[in-house]
């Protein structure tokens, strides 16, 4: 193989180490910048064939659950993510991306369909005398140790913006919670390496960047 073609192939492989899924509803640049600060190359894509080659997948998201579901279906991105995650590739859902890992949301009508169903459970709207959305910094209550949370301690603060929260069917899927009216799940894990965080790690200073670095390490170790 000519050296220039070899270098091009090598560079492309590096770029698709971690794919950030672009379905039109994510804060893509800040997520990409966060990984870059921790030394990880990422590739923003809206093409299923590139997700199929990724060694790690980020599913970001800001906005409404139902529209996100429609956008993922339109280009076949949802199925591509599900297939790759089922093959064991590390997957991280951020904010709305976490909620899309579950089966359904109170925010969405049945006509628009459910989530990816990678983590059994529902997305529930906050109720009661609370300021909605839950916006700002809140401290984690870690309930289960996991490589994604390496270096994170009880009481560490992360940045949130959300009106709905994840409620997995199996409480053993919950890695960390925050108290907002009641304890709600904000870090979940499905198998084998399916993760979701309700906060924005890319906006959560050093601790948030540590989460991104931990995910990068999981990607490096995969196969």
Residue 4 is a catalytic residue:
no
Using an 8 Å Cβ cutoff, are 89 and 56 in contact?
A: yes
- CB burial of 117-153 (b: ≥16 within 10 Å; e: otherwise) equals ebbebbbbebeeeeeeebeeebebebbeebebbeebe
Q: Is 173 exposed, middle or buried (0-12, 13-18, 19+ CB in 10 A)?
A: buried
- pLDDT at residue number 38: 95
pLDDT of residue 115: 95
Helix (H, G, I), strand (E, B) or coil at 151: coil
Do 199 and 134 contact (CB within 8 A), yes or no? no
What CA–CA distance (Å, rounded) separates 98 from 198? Answer: 6
For each successive 10 residues of the chain (223 residues), what is the average pLDDT?
Answer: 40 65 92 96 95 96 93 95 97 98 86 84 94 96 98 98 97 97 97 97 97 97 84
Q: Which domain holds residue 52?
A: 3-221
The answer to whether 200 is a known catalytic residue is: yes
* CATH classification at residue 8: 3.40.50.880
Nearest to 198 by CA among 184, 213, 183: 184
Q: Taking the model in full, what pTM does it have? A: 0.91
What integer pLDDT is reported at residue 22 of this predicted model?
97
Q: Which of 169, 202, 217, 220 is catalytic?
A: 202
Q: Which of 74, 87, 95, 134 is catalytic?
A: 95
Q: Write down the pLDDT at residue 12.
A: 45
Choice among 107, 134, 162, 200 that is catalytic: 200
DSSP string, 95-112: THHHHHTSSEETTS-GGG
Tally the domains of the chain. Answer: 1
Strand partners, 189: 195
């Amino acid at each position: 193989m000519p050296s220039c073609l070899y270098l091009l192939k090598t560079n492309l492989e590096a770029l698709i180490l971690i794919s950030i899924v672009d379905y039109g509803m994510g804060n893509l640049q800040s997520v990409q910048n966060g990984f870059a600060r921790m030394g990880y190359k990422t590739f923003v894509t809206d093409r299923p064939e590139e997700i199929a080659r990724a060694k790690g997948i980020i599913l970001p998201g800001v906005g409404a659950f139902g529209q996100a579901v429609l956008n993922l279906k339109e280009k076949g991105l949802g199925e591509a993510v599900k297939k790759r995650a089922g093959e064991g590739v590390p997957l991280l859902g951020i904010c709305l991306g976490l909620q899309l890992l579950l089966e359904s949301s109170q925010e969405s009508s049945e006509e628009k369909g459910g989530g990816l169903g990678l983590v059994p459970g529902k997305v529930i709207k906050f109720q009661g005398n609370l300021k909605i959305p839950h916006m700002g910094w809140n401290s984690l209550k870690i309930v289960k140790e996991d490589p994604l949370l390496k270096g994170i301690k009880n009481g560490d603060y992360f940045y949130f913006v959300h009106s709905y929260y994840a409620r997995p069917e199996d409480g053993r899927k919950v890695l960390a919670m925050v108290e907002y009216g009641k304890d709600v799940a904000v870090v979940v894990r499905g198998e084998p390496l399916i993760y979701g965080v309700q906060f924005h790690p890319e906006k959560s200073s050093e601790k948030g960047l540590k989460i991104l670095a931990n995910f990068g390490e999981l990607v490096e170790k995969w196969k």
